[in-house]
Amino acid sequence: MTASPAVAILQSSSTNFNSSFYTSLYSSSLLRLHSSRRPLPEVFGQKSISKAGERYNIRAAKVYSLRAEEQRVIQEEAPQMLDTFPSFEFSPGLAHPLGVSEVESGINFAIFSQHASAVTLCIILPKSIHDGVIELALDPQKNRTGNIWHICIKELPQGDVLYGYRIDGPRNWHEGHRFDNSIILIDPYAKLIEGRRAFGDNSSKMCRFLGTYDFNSLPFDWGENYKLPNILENDLVIYEINVRAFTADETSGLDLNQRGSYLGLIEKIPHLLELGVNAVELLPVFEFDELEFQRRPNPRDHMINTWGYSTMNFFAPMSRYASCGGGPVGASREFKEMVKALHGAGIEVILDVVYNHTNEADDENPYTTSFRGIDNKVYYMMDLNNNAQLVNFSGCGNTFNCNHPVVMELILESLRHWVTEYHVDGFRFDLASVLCRGADGTPINAPPLVKAIAKDSVLSRCKIIAEPWDCGGLYLVGKFPNWDRWAEWNGKYRDDIRRFIKGDAGMKGNFATRIAGSADLYRVNKRKPYHSVNFVIAHDGFTLYDLVSYNSKHNDANGEGGNDGCNDNFSWNCGIEGETSDANINALRSQQMKNFHLALMVSQGTPMMLMGDEYGHTRYGNNNSYGHDTAINNFQWGQLEARKNDHFRFFSKMIKFRLSHSVLRKENFIDKSEVTWLEDNWFNEESRFLAFMLHDGNGGDIYLAFNAHHFSVKTAIPSPPRNRSWYRVDISHQKIQIMIKNISSSVYCISWEGIQDQLATYLLQNQCSNQAYHRKTMQIYPCIQARI
């Protein structure tokens, strides 16, 4: 059976089938009609072709321009143009799967829209086949099943086809509808997105984006010996990384066409191995528009979104992370090559995913690309008591309606796609408390989506990590609905560690609780210490260097008058705000950075660090640097080389020390037999000294002493187990190679030494040997000095 959708074809004056064509196509405000022999410049249009006669009624409409008031509709008669139209056969198609699929009868298109009254499929073919746009108006009687609109096209090319939808429906704003059939919309289920080819290319900042597909390429070759790392959660050391910023700087030494790409990251895997991390958490790699701030005049129109927390599509890898402008197909292939290479090095891949909002902004200045125009009332939360305005629990203008059944299935299908197609190992969910809200924003105790993710069979091997808060105040640290599967970014760990090490009063008990695994938060049901993702630093907020160099944020460059970014940083500048040539201040800052890293690496739970902290990267006090495609965010490889023999060496050896000693990576919460607290001063608010021993059950102990006072503390060294002695191992500077090679299994004492001297970490190993450490006491010097 053959359906007869209305077909409209317009020709473009563009001579190249590339991103410059899309730019002019979408930003033109001029509309003219031409015969088939004369190309129509820079326009999408719509034509209704009648079979009743030799003349055709044509309605052409401008689809997108900078200003809505510039849009206009023209009606006129045109001569027959069938001589250059491509010939296709159509059938009603299938309602499932959503998106584009290759079926026996052709290429099937299916899209959900519950409230739409009209859906038009728009297709751009390769120029070698046809230079123009085909528009297919779907018949609701033949091409709709329930709320899904669909069509199948026979003999459509298997690749190099761009497509989108124009959708119309009720214009009742107060009911939540935002239909606008002048805009070509991205299919939410598109697996690839075509847009500009070069990251940050200002000449195409008004470029629009369309879906595409690739049924031509052979399946990716993962290799005969390929296997997933399958690292246990209690063994993870996570490295948070921005794909572009990691190699975008010229100091990366990479070819210009490879910088800031998936392939560029592959080239730096040796650095990850030398550092010792075994998992990377990639900042968003779903397609986003890095030039979204520049589409209209505003205080942020100088910014380039380099973090990517502005998702345009949940299935497509960021196409401008492909090397050499390789586009969406190249990006898909190179992403897989990156995952394969990381897995080959024993490194897992965790994606930072943003399902709490999209790029489409707010009702005041919307950037409609997909969901808003397809079915706003389904995809977004809104306040029906306030003219159906979008609610904003994300801080970005809109909030995705995650627990609506249709939206929930979209998110689940997206996650499964990244696991099955790209072999990723886990996900960190940005502002995950949004996933715990109903359609009206009310918190839900057992949110369906969160449960479905925890119970899904495809996702069962994945690490799933929540950022358990949102911008609406739903703070769920330690209380995120988890089904014993979900881990959490432990914001309380970050705050308590920062406050103790900088010397705040009354923090010793909280500090002890955090480094012992935060049992007060996570010892519930079958939850484990590794469900606490411990971090001192993350992408948003100060870098580690800035944490010890700035008392206040310095965000003027962001264009928001310093009003953006967190004000509660619990930082201390060590005496001088910002950069200084004072050697004592710089030495103290170096010591403090090591103190933070040491505390992180000896804490029970899952440690996470930020890229660049291994050499002391600075953003010069900017604690919200999402919009700077510069050295503020870019990894500085030259600085790494300059600090490899000191700062980097310490960071690397502490990571490897952690991974070498299972007593620091307990699967279960430590009980009384596994720890000895060497304390009798718990309730003294002024006490800033903490010492304790961890026992591995085999006669080995780790002794830890932390001194955050401004003066030294003399403490007794506990007696070693029978027939054993203490040994000091120094993880600082040049002694590290010799001492690390000479240590064996498990028993150490760790302390911080020296205000005037460089920080030393002492590891006292007790074992049967003639070279014993015989001192009965040791001086634990302060980890910070009096404030200046």
Q: Which pair of structure tokens corresponds to residue 415?
A: 């996650």
Q: Which residues pair with 704 in a beta bridge?
A: 692, 750
Q: Are 106 and 153 in contact (CB under 8 A)?
A: yes
The per-type count for the chain, helices as H runs and strands as E runs, is 16, 33
Do the strands 99-103 and 106-112 form a parallel or antiparallel pair, or are they unpaired? antiparallel
Q: Are 486 and 448 in contact (CB under 8 A)?
A: no
Backbone φ, ψ for residue 533 (5° rounding): -85, 105
Give the up-direction half-sphere exposure of residue 216: CA atoms within 13 A in the CB hemisphere: 11
Distance in angstroms (rounded) separating the CA atoms of residues 674 and 629: 48
DSSP letter string over 70-123? G--EEEEEE---GGGPPP-EEE---S-SSEEEEETTEEEEEEE-SS-SEEEEEE
Reported in sequence order, the residue ranges of 125-249 that DSSP labels E, i.e. its strands, are 132-137, 144-145, 148-154, 159-168, 192-194, 210-214, 238-241
Distance in angstroms (rounded) separating the CA atoms of residues 15 and 26: 16
Q: What is the largest CA-CA distance in the chain?
A: 105
Distance in angstroms (rounded) separating the CA atoms of residues 142 and 3: 7
Distance in angstroms (rounded) separating the CA atoms of residues 544 and 571: 10
Distance in angstroms (rounded) separating the CA atoms of residues 191 and 421: 10
Contacts 24+ apart (CB under 8 A), 685-690: 685/505, 685/506, 686/505, 687/508, 688/500, 688/503, 688/505, 688/507, 688/508, 689/508, 689/713, 689/715, 689/780, 690/508, 690/511, 690/512
Q: Which letter, b or e, does each residue of 632-643 get, where b requires 16 or more Cβ atoms within 10 Å of its Cβ?
A: bbbbbbebbeeb
Q: Which pair of structure tokens corresponds to residue 273?
A: 């191995």
Q: Count other Cβ atoms within 10 Å, centred on residue 772.
A: 14
Q: Which letter, b or e, does each residue of 68-104 get, where b requires 16 or more Cβ atoms within 10 Å of its Cβ?
A: eeeeeeeeeeeeebeeebeebebbbbbbeebbbbeee
Q: What is the dihedral of CA 135, 136, 140, 146, to 10 degrees?
A: -90
Distance in angstroms (rounded) separating the CA atoms of residues 758 and 751: 13
Q: Token match 């024993």: residue?
A: 346
Q: Are 8 and 33 in contact (CB under 8 A)?
A: no
Picking from 687, 685, 718, 689, the residue whose alpha carbon sits closest to that of residue 701 is 718
Q: Which residues pair with 122 in a beta bridge?
A: 135, 164
Picking from 427, 461, 456, 280, the residue whose alpha carbon sits closest to that of residue 354 is 427
Q: Which pair of structure tokens corresponds to residue 181?
A: 């059939």
The one-letter amino acid code at 740 reads I
Distance in angstroms (rounded) separating the CA atoms of residues 708 and 687: 9
SS3 call for 46 = strand
What count of residues does the chain have? 788
The one-letter amino acid code at 737 reads Q
Q: Which pair of structure tokens corresponds to residue 462?
A: 């994945």
The one-letter amino acid code at 401 reads N
Distance in angstroms (rounded) separating the CA atoms of residues 765 and 515: 21
Q: What is the DSSP letter of 644?
A: I
Residues serving a catalytic function are 430, 467
